[in-house]
Structure 1
């Protein structure tokens, strides 16, 4: 298995000229989020087996310049009981979210702070 790259906080660039919009603690925490090829926002959300993209309302607002703040609100609870320690990946095209070609996004949902479920390791990717 290939070794995963290590990431340092000093390597991370936060959009918004050194300032990021405030995380909204009232939103459901997500495990992780990232942007792939400057085209697709992928959010890892917790799930018990019945979470779909359609279960969320996605709000996008302009934050500063070409930076767009994204928040996900769960409309439909996940009523299943299957063990899914990695959750599910929800993908959103930046075009469908209204983010222009040179735009950047930041997700306002807090990151999950609970310890990982048994059998799940926390992996950071960039």
Structure 2
């Protein structure tokens, strides 16, 4: 986009100097062209939306790349922890599996007990 120009009017050229008047007209046309171009850029919603979408896409791509790198680093740390302390990791994994197994067993027993009830007691 163009830079903002001074809003002060230029002094008028002397009345008899045609070259100065022509130069002033050329300068005014150039300023007017820049102003129209700036307004057209501002009014072009489609290209501004495309630019904003491209910026957002780039930010998402950068964030995903950073997250991938961080996940890789964390995976390396976890791998190293497992290598250093395999017993602790195995014990923790076993505890999680046992807890999940207990939850599954209790849910199944509860479902069977509900199924044995008469239909009027199943409705809540």
TM-score range, shorter chain: under 0.3
What is the TM-score when the length of structure 1 is the normalising length? Answer: 0.16
Which protein has the larger Cα radius of gyration, Structure 1 or Structure 2? 2
Tell me which protein shows more strand as a share of its residues: 1
Tell me which protein shows more helix as a share of its residues: 2
Structure number with higher relative contact order (C-alpha < 8 Å, ≥ 6 residues apart):
1
